[in-house]
Amino acid sequence: MSTSRTPVPPDEATTVIGATGHSGTEEAAMAHHDPAVEAYKVPLSTAIWIVVANMIGTGVFTSLGFQLFFTEAPFVIMMLWIVGGCIALCGAFAYAELAAALPRSGGEFHFLSRIYHPAVGFVAGWLSVTVGFAVPIALSAMALSGYAMSAMGYVEAGKGTEAAGYVVLDSATFHAMDFRIGVTAVVGIAVAQLWSLRATSIFQAVFTVAKLLIIVALIVAGLTITPAPQPISFAPKAGDVWLIFSAGFASSLYWVMYSYSGWNAATYIIDEVKDPVRNLPRALLWGTVFVMALYVLLNMIFLYAAPVAALKGVKNVASPAALHIFGASGAQIVSAIICFGLIATISATTWVGPRVSKAMGEQVAALSFFAKTSKGGIPWVAVLVQMFITLAMLRLGEGNMETILNYIQFTLTVSATLTVAGLFVLRLREPDLPRPYRAWGYPITPLFFIITSVYMMVVMLQNKPVESMAGFATLLSGLVVYYGSQIWQKKKGAV
């Protein structure tokens, strides 16, 4: 693979949506960037941490309990995580080529505007601005608050854990405390990120490293000190291979892909990465491979340490696994350390999301307020707007975590699939466009991503039509806003 930096000639500059809805060159848009942003660029290591922190979050600590309703075969469970990792990796190959060829912050908003039409890019950006980042942050905050309540020894009445020494609270009190913890996490991290880009970078790196150490420690402990490991085999048994091609596998893969979502995170902050043409592909690929290895090992430990009966249907699967590794106090210990790790997830997503809003604000007149930055280059308006949307999602998501997860994953899959398909469009339409990095395995790897993603969306439409149609409605609302803003801008210009 080539990692040399190749400048884009002026005649091949990226077309963007101008302030009046007309096109202009990327260089013209870049000229409006705050010089303060250039004062500090995050290195490759931090870009990798962003990818890792965005990926490792709620999903890996909740998915297994639901996957066990589909199958209890260890081989099939491991294949779910391996196949999911391969899909994410194929997507990362495609995004890496696009990021190196079209180096500008904004992620799908930038790519789809450049490849298809400004309206398509706007819809992807609209998704990001409204729910694409706010919902994952809210989901992570819900998980954090749930683990925090467990770590403090509180349990909701009727949950059957009174014998474990928990303090039993009535539902109203429990949910009120749970909600306040989530709000505190969301607001605290958002306010902290208004400080400076350098401080945010250091905060992100420190918390991500800590989260990784926690996960590695859990894996090592599971392998070495589990007193009564389960008698399981990860080798395939009769019928296991056929399950991989079933609709149930695709449904379970949906949860896995949410766990892997975030593999494209670094493309949203290209402007803030040092030498992005060289470092972005590396961050996407190394981060994805690393997380894939951790996910496979962590789920092996869950199955190795705890019996299936203790894991099946449980949202916080790390707790029963910890109980079987460390003893009676294990659940509270693991809950506390997972809370610490989820801070990194919330922080990473809080960092990335406002950069998409800022990119839209620089290019769409109706959203120009998103482009406002502090002296240190922080898009403070975008950070605050995302924070308030997240708080609203946090309130709406109480008791509906699975429904919201299905809804957001469907919309994110549509956006990612269109972006990877854009790799074929760009190669056919602009074969001479400088590409410092070319997607490994092209065209097989992007085709694999597209085919599996479409298959998962079809299964979701069949099994979860309400959540799927809500996702379509969100995308359609973006088109309405885009064309509405275009009409408004023309009327304003005619006055």
What structural domains does the chain harbor? 41-489 (1.20.1740.10)
Q: Three-state SS for 264?
A: coil
Better pLDDT: 183 or 339: 183
Q: Three-state SS for 24?
A: strand
Q: What is the pLDDT of residues 63-92, one digit of tens each?
A: 898 889 888 999 999 999 999 999 998 998
d(CA 327, CA 19): 61
Q: Mean pLDDT throughout 374-384?
A: 87
d(CA 125, CA 106): 8
Residue 25 banded pLDDT, cuts 50, 70, 90: very low
Torsion of CA 339, 125, 88, 260, to 10 degrees: 20
**Angle in degrees, 0-180, between the axes of helices 247-260 and 401-429, rounded to the nearest 10:** 80
* pLDDT reading at 313 higher than 90: no
Better pLDDT: 168 or 458: 458
Ordered DSSP codes for 364-405: -GGGGGGG---TTS--HHHHHHHHHHHHHHHHHTTT-HHHHH
Torsion of CA 370, 373, 377, 380, to 10 degrees: -70
pTM passes above 0.85: no
Q: What is the pLDDT of residues 471-489, one digit of tens each?
A: 999 999 999 988 988 888 7
Q: Return the structure tokens found at 26.
A: 């990327």
Torsion of CA 360, 365, 370, 372, to 10 degrees: 120
Better pLDDT: 265 or 72: 72
Q: What is the pLDDT of residues 317-347, one digit of tens each?
A: 887 888 888 876 777 877 888 888 788 788 8
d(CA 391, CA 396): 9
- Average pLDDT over the chain, rounded to whole? 82
Q: Mean pLDDT throughout 49-58?
A: 77
Rg (CA), the chain: 22
